[in-house]
Each structure stands twice: as C-alpha cells, then as structure tokens.
Amino acid sequence: MRSAVQPRATEAAVSSSLEVPALSRLAVLFGGAAGLAAAAAVAAGAEARPPGAGSVLALAISPSSSATAYVGTAAGGLYRTSDGGERWEVAEGDVAGLSVSAVAIDPASPATVYAGTNGAGVFRSSDGGKTWSLSNAGLANLFVEALAIDPSSPGGVYAATDGGVFRSSDSGKSWQEMREGLADPTVTALAILPDAGLLAGTKTGGVFRASKGSPAWVASSGGLARAAIRGLAVGSPATVYAATESGIFKSTTAGADWTPVNSGLTSISVLSIGVDPSSPSRAFACTVTGLFRTGDGGIHWSSVETGSGGSFFNSVAIDRTGATVLVGGEGSVLRSGNGGKTWKPVALPPPPPREESDEDETQ
C-alpha cells in the first residue's frame, strides 16, 4: 500500500465528470432506459469522487476492527483505511489501478485479505493490505464477481467468475473448478450457509447449491424470478436474501424456495444487499433509486435519507456490531457510524497514475 494520503475536501457534484464508459456500463447493466435513468441520477449529484476511480464495486469491513475497511473501484484500484475513513492508502504493485470487483477478509485471520479483479484474477495480502501477490494458479485471468471465505475450513476460499465457481483449499495458492451441474457459468454472487453449504447466483437468474464437501451443484431457484442475481446475503443459518433485477427474494429454507419481499421499494433493480450480523432481521438494500432499510426481515422496506445528491448505490458493507455501515456508488462512498441514522461522505484520494508498460510505449 502507499503511505497514508490526506483526502481532499468533498467536491461539489459535477455532472460532466460522469464519463461516457460509466453511462454505457449502466445502460448495459439495467437496460437502456433504466441505465440512463440511473446514470442521470448519478450525474446529478455524486460526491467525494476521486478522479479516475470510477464506480465503487466492492466494500469490506474488517471483523476485528470497524475502523479498518477496503474499497474496490472500477478504475482506481483498491483503497484501505485503518482509522474509519479519515485517511486512506492506495494499493500499489500489480493490483494498482486494476478494476477491483470483490474483496473478502478472512474472519479467522483478518490480516489475510483477497481482492478479485475484472480480468486479472485474484490477489492476496497476508499483511492487512500493505502488500499484494497474485494468487491465480488454476483460476486464469477471469472476471471475479464475488469472493467467499469458508469459516469452517481453514484456507477455504470460493471465487465466483464469468467462467464458473472456483474453490481454493490452500488460501488461494491454487484453485479448482466446480462446474458439475452448474447450468450458467456466469456466476455473480456467493453465500455460505453454515449447515447447508454454498449458494451461487447466476447472470440468467438461477441459484444453485453445493452441499458441504460436494463439488456438484443442484438447482435451488423455486419461486425466484428469472432475473440476474446481483447479490446474496445470509441472515441466519437457513435464511438468505437475493438481490435481483426483479427485486429482493428471501428464503428461510437455505435456498430451497424463495418469496419476494419488496414492499416499500421504489425500484426492483436491486444491486446489492447486506445483513446486519448483530441483528439478522435488519438489512440494507442498494437500488438504482437509492438506499433502503428493513428492520423486520424484509417485510417492509423504507427509504434511507443519506444526504447525498446522488441516489445510485451498488455496494454495501456492515460491521459485526451493526453500527458502522458503508455504501458505495458511482465514485462515492458514504459512512454511517450509528447504524444508518446519519451519514457523511468519505473522500478517497486520487489513484496514482498507472505506469506505462513497454507494450504501451510501442503503440
């Protein structure tokens, strides 16, 4: 990591700062009209945006300290704070400037952190994010959509990619493919259920389950809409939520069947969902039209006033106590230290300029 950088003051939203690639990406993600609407909302008021960082794709809070967190961005690489967001470090080395799409922290060893990227595989840090090394044997340069660490198996890590699910049993040193029975190889979300095994959400809308110790998958989509799965979040050993392009679905049967729980949402394009580890009936959902919260297990959702001009959020992380909540959107991060009652923008420093390779110089 780079030495700590003092963040800039929060900038006023400037619509012209929304790059054309970001607009195109939103249109692709949600369909033309919805994508353009989301982009317009972002352009109307994104805060604390470091030039060149792009969308916030991944957030993670350390299980050992809520003051330590990681932010993965689309074009600015990976950021780390150890003081609650007052100061940030930017990852250097091979991970610098990459599109970091997933971050996972080992709960048994919080100094061990994994970062999944868009097209460069997985990187691993064993010193709390100070240095990073490529951990790609058997994985190749795939787009990593999500990472999950198995708390019951030391060294067990799963990666959801555009080429299927891969498992490592040696802390990322090597990876083995899990494809048997997986109808859609584009896997977008993962969730580990302590007693039932692993759930995988796919781009075409199906959820599949692999029992503990089994490399084979079985369909687990009863009651789900046929829409892309954007996120999975565990509430209790048998309760899991699915964020989809057709709303939020909840299962109380470890994924065997699902029920829609969308009362109060103003958009069914749900991009991410996070459950409070200290209170499983409490959750936050990121949508195209803003942030929503439930306190009754998804029966009712209410809009959360964040004070941000932009309403587009696509990632959320909640610490082990439920007090610290991070949400990320198009180049912005908001932090709450009181369970979502009040929020303040987090100013990330600009990413370092990427070094040109010999190949770049010859073009």
For 93-106, what is each residue's pLDDT tens digit? 889 989 999 999 99
137 or 11: which leads in pLDDT: 137
Average pLDDT of every residue of the chain? 85
Predicted confidence (pLDDT) at residue 255 exceeds the cutoff of 90: yes
**Which pLDDT value is given to residue 354?**
60
Q: For residues 269 and 196, which has the higher predicted lDDT (pLDDT)? A: 269
d(CA 131, CA 122) in angstroms, rounded, equals 14
Q: Which residues contact 225 (CB under 8 A, 6 or more apart)?
A: 205, 244, 246, 247, 249, 260
pLDDT band of 29, cuts 50, 70, 90: very low
- Mean pLDDT value across residues 229-240: 95
Say if residue 60's pLDDT is above 70: yes
Q: Residues 55-178: name the CATH superfamily.
A: YVTN repeat-like/Quinoprotein amine dehydrogenase (2.130.10.10)
Per-residue pLDDT, 308:
78
**pLDDT at position 361:** 46
Q: Which of 42-51, 76-85, 91-100, 117-126 has the lowest mean pLDDT?
A: 42-51
pLDDT value of residue 84: 92
Greatest Cα pair distance in the chain: 59
| Residue 52 reports pLDDT greater than 60 | no
Q: How confident is the model at residue 51 (pLDDT cuts 50, 70, 90)?
A: low
184 vs 53, higher pLDDT: 184
The larger pLDDT score, comparing residue 242 to residue 54, is at: 242
**Which of the residue ranges 21-30, 255-264, 340-349 has the most confident prediction, judged by mean pLDDT?**
255-264
* pLDDT for 43 beyond 80: no
Structure confidence at residue 146 (pLDDT): 98
pTM of the model: 0.85
